[in-house]
């Protein structure tokens, strides 16, 4: 009988700990939760989600041979449903040859050049976004899982610093909107918490698919800073930091955003 109060005490402690982790998780919200019900419905239903047009294009491209090697993605990687599961959740990843981290779209282009011996796809081109969204959709519902690779650490720190650093004519940092004023309004738009969920997303304003880098560049021109070029180290570092910040949140690709 002496153990019973101890057990209850432990149980109570466990409950408290559990409640704490839940509230901590609840504080983080995907951009999805800031959207109106009709936009949410559009994302949730695959027959309504216009991002699925791109995913289906990507699925076709996955099977299509390209370049001098006449190899398709599927020749080496077989079915993406199993081989690409969870891959997008851990990107950007460290590239041994380049000795720096690269994003998923750069990895796809690297495969195209080195394995397929084809010309790289232009950043933000429909084909590259299609392949990226098809690969990223295989991580839908899986938690964002940044790798523990110690070589990534300096890049993550640089990304974190850049997130806090003021930039542009408006002299604003990412953190001033997305940490300090998330949930508030900028004009008529709700300011989300800037978790990189669901990329590449179908953005209604763009009437098209766009990558996380396009979104980041968009924010930079918004504060009247000169955006970094597609594939620039600075953008990859920001992506790395955002993924650590969103660790454990569930993938949504293809997301829909207003």
Partner 1 sequence: MARTLINIPPTARRGEVIEIRVTIGHPMETGFRPGDDGKILPRNIIQRFSCRYNSELIFSAEMFSAMAANPYISFFTTAQNTGTLALTWEGDGGFTQTENVTLTVTG
Q: Which residues bind partner 1 (CB under 8 A)?
A: 45-50, 52-53, 56-57, 204, 207-208
Closest CA to 155 of 248, 245, 246, 234: 234
Q: Pick between residue 172 and residue 204 the one whose CB is nearest to partner 1.
A: 204
CB of residue 183 to partner 1, shortest distance in Å: 28
175 vs 166: CA distance, rounded Å:
9
CB-count burial class (<10 Å; 0-12, 13-18, 19+) for 28: middle
CB of residue 123 to partner 1, shortest distance in Å: 15
Contacts of residue 225, defined as CB under 8 A and 6 or more positions apart, other chains included, come to 167, 168, 169
CB of residue 69 to partner 1, shortest distance in Å: 26
Encoded tokens for 30: 């995907």
Q: Pick between residue 52 and residue 223 the one whose CB is nearest to partner 1.
A: 52
Closest CA to 172 of 235, 223, 237: 223
CB of residue 25 to partner 1, shortest distance in Å: 33
Residue 181's H or E segment, with its range, is none
Q: Pick between residue 50 and residue 231 the one whose CB is nearest to partner 1.
A: 50
Distance of CA 142 to the CA centre of its chain: 12
**HSE (CB half, 13 Å, CA atoms) of 233?**
11
Count helices and strands (H / E) in the chain: 12, 7
Q: Are strands 185-186 and 100-102 parallel, antiparallel or unpaired?
A: unpaired
Q: Pick between residue 237 and residue 252 the one whose CB is nearest to partner 1.
A: 252
CB of residue 136 to partner 1, shortest distance in Å: 18
CB of residue 48 to partner 1, shortest distance in Å: 7
How far, in Å, are 23, 97, 119, 184, 196 from residue 29 at the CA level? 11, 36, 39, 13, 11
Q: Pick between residue 178 and residue 203 the one whose CB is nearest to partner 1.
A: 203
Q: Pick between residue 52 and residue 158 the one whose CB is nearest to partner 1.
A: 52
CB of residue 236 to partner 1, shortest distance in Å: 26
Instruction: Check: CB of residue 122 under 8 Å from CB of residue 128.
Output: yes
Q: Pick between residue 80 and residue 177 the one whose CB is nearest to partner 1.
A: 80
């Amino acid at each position: 009988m002496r153990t019973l109060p101890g057990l209850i005490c432990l149980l109570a402690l466990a409950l408290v700990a559990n409640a704490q982790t839940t509230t901590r998780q609840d504080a983080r919200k995907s951009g999805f939760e800031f959207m109106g019900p009709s936009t949410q419905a559009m994302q949730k239903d695959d027959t309504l989600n216009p991002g699925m047009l791109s995913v289906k294009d990507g699925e076709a491209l996955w099977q299509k041979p390209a370049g001098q090697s006449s190899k398709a993605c599927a020749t080496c990687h077989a079915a993406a449903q199993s081989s690409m599961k969870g891959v997008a959740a851990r990107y950007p990843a460290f590239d041994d040859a380049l000795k720096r981290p690269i994003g998923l779209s750069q990895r796809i282009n690297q495969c195209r050049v080195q394995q397929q011996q084809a010309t790289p796809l232009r950043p933000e081109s429909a084909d590259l976004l299609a392949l990226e969204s098809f690969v990223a959709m295989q991580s839908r519902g899986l938690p964002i899982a940044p790798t523990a690779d110690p070589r990534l650490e300096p890049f993550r720190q640089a990304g974190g610093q850049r997130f806090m650093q003021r930039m542009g004519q408006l002299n604003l940092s990412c953190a001033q909107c997305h940490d300090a004023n998330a949930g508030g309004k900028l004009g008529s738009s709700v300011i989300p918490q800037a978790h990189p969920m669901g990329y590449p997303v179908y953005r209604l304003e763009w009437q098209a698919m766009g990558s996380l880098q396009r979104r980041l560049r968009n924010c930079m021109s918004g504060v009247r800073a000169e955006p970094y070029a597609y594939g620039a180290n600075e953008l990859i570092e920001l992506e790395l930091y955002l993924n650590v910040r969103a660790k454990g949140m569930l993938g949504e690709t293809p997301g829909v955003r207003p």
